[in-house]
C-alpha cells in the first residue's frame, strides 16, 4: 500500500468533485471552507483564516477578493490593529450555508456508500488518528 499516493488521490478527487458540485451554487471548495469558518466565528482576520485553514496568504486573499465581489463577505478595519481587516459573512453567505452542507454531505455519502456503518465508524476513527499524528509530526 502506498499511503501518501492514496491520500493524495483522495484529496485531489475530493477537491475536483466538491468544486464541480459547489460551482452549481457559485462557490469553490476553498470558498465554502472560508464561509463555514466565518459563519461559525462571525468575524475573523485574514491571518486567522489562513492559520485556521492552513492555507497561504495569497490563496486566501484571492478567494476573499472573489467572495467580496460576489457579496459573500464584507471587510472592516480591525479596531485592535488598523493594519488588518476583520472579515464577516454577509446575509447572502449565511443563506448559502445549508446548501454547502448539503453538497458536502452528499459527496461524503456518495464516496462512502460502499462501506457498512461499522466500516464507516472504523474509517472515521482511523483517519482522525492518522490526521492527529500527522499534525503532531508537523508541529501543529
The domain made up of 3-101 has a fold known as: Arc Repressor Mutant, subunit A (1.10.10)
Helices and strands (H, E) in the chain, number of each type: 6, 3
Mean pLDDT of 123-134: 95
C-alpha span between 34 and 64 (Å, rounded)? 8
pLDDT in tens, 72-97: 999 999 999 999 899 999 999 999 99
pTM given for the model: 0.85
Decide: 87 and 64 in contact? Cβ < 8 Å.
yes
pLDDT at 1 over 80: no
Q: What is the pLDDT of residues 109-121, one digit of tens each?
A: 999 999 999 999 9
In the predicted structure, residue 32 carries a pLDDT above the cut 90 = yes
Strand order in the sheet with 44-45: 44-45, 81-89, 73-78
Amino acid at each position: 500500500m502506498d499511503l501518501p499516493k492514496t491520500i493524495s488521490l483522495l484529496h485531489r478527487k475530493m477537491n475536483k468533485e466538491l468544486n464541480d458540485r459547489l460551482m452549481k451554487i457559485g462557490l469553490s471548495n476553498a470558498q465554502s471552507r472560508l464561509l463555514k469558518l466565518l459563519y461559525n466565528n462571525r468575524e475573523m482576520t485574514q491571518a486567522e483564516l489562513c492559520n485556521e485553514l492552513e492555507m497561504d496568504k495569497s490563496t486566501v486573499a484571492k478567494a476573499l477578493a472573489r467572495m467580496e465581489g460576489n457579496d459573500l463577505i464584507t471587510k472592516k478595519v480591525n479596531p485592535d490593529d488598523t493594519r488588518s481587516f476583520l472579515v464577516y459573512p454577509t446575509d447572502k453567505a449565511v443563506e448559502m450555508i445549508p446548501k454547502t452542507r448539503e453538497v458536502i454531505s452528499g459527496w461524503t455519502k456518495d464516496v462512502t456508500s460502499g462501506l457498512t456503518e461499522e466500516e464507516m465508524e472504523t474509517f472515521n476513527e482511523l483517519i482522525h488518528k492518522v490526521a492527529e499524528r500527522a499534525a503532531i509530526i508537523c508541529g501543529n
